[in-house]
Amino acid sequence: MLAASLPDLDSLDLEAVKTLLIDRHERYTAALTSRTIEIERLVLLVERLQRMLFGTKSEKVLRQIDQLELQLEELQAANAIEELQAVAPAQRPAAAKPFRRPLPEHLPREIHRHMPSHEACPDCGGRLRELGEDVAEMLEYVRACFKPGSPRTGLRPWGGRSSAMCGRS
């Protein structure tokens, strides 16, 4: 948006670039100042109308308050967006780090399954069935070599579940 309205900066001398920068800064400051003054004016007007509301219950005053609050919210949102865009990229918060890549396939793997000790539901006696599993890869150090391990937990329902969950028909 801003880059499209700028002249070719490579063709300008140092003084012209300084003048252009000062002019842009003054325009930006003037726009922010006028927006801040308008926000302050609307806040004061809303407060005054709310005080008037206690004196007379007028629907017109209520509509004016609603309209002014809406304008105030729009201006504050526009001001926040403008300030966010003005922040230098180095000052913006860093994006969340991506998740870790899976371990290479050529490494030898050992799969350890952690299953419940019983095959039937302790409450109803129904046969447990597998619903899914949780898989996590960990890198183990075993005497100067690395190998990924993959502990897996079988998810089986038990403890107060319906007979359909236990595998009974």
Of 58, 89, 120, at which residue does a domain stop? 89
Predicted pLDDT of residue 3: 47
Q: How many domains does the chain fold into? A: 2
For the stretch 80-121, pLDDT in tens is: 888 777 765 556 666 666 677 778 888 888 888 888 888 888
Predicted pLDDT of residue 169: 45
Q: Which domain holds residue 13?
A: 3-89
| Tokens of residue 86, six digits | 């003005």
Residues of the chain with pLDDT under 50: 1-4, 163-164, 169
Q: Are residues 8 and 83 in the same domain?
A: yes
Q: Are residues 32 and 72 in the same domain?
A: yes
| Tokens of residue 140, six digits | 């183990």
Predicted pLDDT of residue 1: 42
Q: Are residues 69 and 145 in the same domain?
A: no
Contact criterion met (CB below 8 Å) for 158 and 119? no
Predicted pLDDT of residue 122: 83
Residue 30 lies in a domain: yes
Please tell me the distance from the alpha carbon of residue 1 to that of residue 15, in angstroms, as a whole number: 24
Q: Are residues 124 and 52 in the same domain?
A: no
Residue 102 lies in a domain: no
- DSSP type of residue 162: -
Dihedral pair phi/psi, residue 91, rounded to 5° = -90, -10
Contact criterion met (CB below 8 Å) for 121 and 128? yes
Q: Closest Cα partner for 40 from 81, 72, 74, 78?
A: 72
Residue 147 lies in a domain: yes
Going by their DSSP bridges, the two strands 138-142 and 145-155 should be labelled as antiparallel
Contact criterion met (CB below 8 Å) for 155 and 131? yes
DSSP 111-124: EEEE--S-SB-TTT
Q: Are residues 85 and 140 in the same domain?
A: no
Beta bridge partners of 120: 127
Which pTM was predicted?
Answer: 0.32
